[in-house]
Amino acid sequence: MANEDGRRLSDRVERGHLAARMPQYPLSRCQMRRWRSATAQAICRAGFNLYGVFKRRVSSISFRKPLIMAVYFGAEHNLRNLIQTHLFLLCPNNSGSTFLIGAIGQSSNVWSLPKEGQHVPGFVGPNSRGTERSLTWGSEAELLEWFRDDKNYDWGKTKRAWYFQATARDSNATVFATKAPPFLLIPDLLAANFESTKFIVMVRNPYAMAEGILRRRSSTPEMIREVAEHVVTCFQIQAENAQNLAGKSICFTYEDMCDRPDSILKRLADFLPELHDVTFHEAVSVKGMYDQAVTNFNTAQIERLGVDQACQLNEVFKPHTELFEQFGYQLLSTS
């Protein structure tokens, strides 16, 4: 009886039944070895069958040969002699600057950093992460003074840290590019401490910018007002930058970049010929979380704002209607 049951078990396993269960009664050692051996053989057979299926399916897929780009490290080159232009992107947070600096960093003529300039190890100066208002620093006068005080920076050490950690696709690149939202407060300090500076001034729809911040914060009335005040401050400063930096800057909006990319690319190349090979049509790594080609997210973000949130934002925005209109933005109707 036991031998017959053992053969039945072996037969079931041989036919590929991997769910064969141990008989409830004790088996002899010989029967146990036979059962284990048969089960192991069935598992191996199933594995080879799956491999065969996988191999047939994979063989029907054509894979594109990966494009391997050379990467050169600033630590191995004398960037003090190589760099002829320092390009700073002045743009508020949550306004598309990560994509833009990533796209510029893909140019063969640009040295760029793996993080925002303020977050690179070795940067000596005020850092927005060291505040309780990391995304709304523009809403507090003391923070604005802190960022603007040249005594809080060591540009010599910062320059060495930036050059050491910069990377490029061509060892002969001559442009160094970086960004950090608070840098829009200090273009004068940047120009005074870096040779041959040029600037990109960019803003984004104030409601989309506000939603991007509120999504990462609570939506209490106090926070909404804080965010709105930060947005207004950034727009006020950017209006000043666009005027004061005329001749050494280019100014456009997030919407221009997303909706008229070829036009902006031409303007960038005219402004700084070394950027002639920049493209917005290839995916760029955004904060190491995902890759994204140029895309306008305004509609989706603004639609996420509730009517109450929009009304509270408008309470702060309305006195500055003309400021927003300078950049082509209208206040939302909440009626």
CATH 3.40.1440.10 for domain 72-326, yes or no, is: no
Rg over alpha carbons for the chain, rounded to the nearest Å, is 30
pLDDT at 29: 60
The continuous run of DSSP H or E covering 323 comes out as helix 321-326
Which residue stretches of 149-297 are H helix?
155-165, 187-193, 206-214, 221-244, 254-259, 261-271
The CA-based angle 79-84-85, given to 5 degrees, is 110
pLDDT at 63: 37
The token pair that represents 242 in the structure block: 């666009």
pLDDT at 285: 80
pLDDT at 12: 44
- E strand residue ranges, the chain: 72-73, 85-90, 110-111, 167-168, 175-179, 197-203, 249-253, 284-286, 290-292
Residue 334: Cβ within 10 Å count? 13
The token pair that represents 307 in the structure block: 């009517």
Please report, in tens digits, the pLDDT of each residue of the chain (335 residues total).
444 444 444 444 444 444 444 444 455 665 556 656 666 566 656 555 555 544 444 343 333 334 446 799 999 999 999 999 999 999 999 999 999 999 999 999 999 999 999 999 999 999 999 888 999 999 999 999 999 999 999 999 999 999 999 999 999 999 999 999 999 999 999 999 999 999 999 999 999 999 999 999 888 999 999 999 999 999 999 999 999 999 999 999 999 999 999 999 999 999 999 999 999 999 888 766 668 889 999 999 999 999 999 999 999 999 999 999 999 999 999 87
Portions of the chain given CATH number 3.40.50.300: 72-326
Round to whole Å and give the CA distance between 71 and 244. Answer: 36
Judge contact between 119 and 127, C-beta under 8 A.
yes
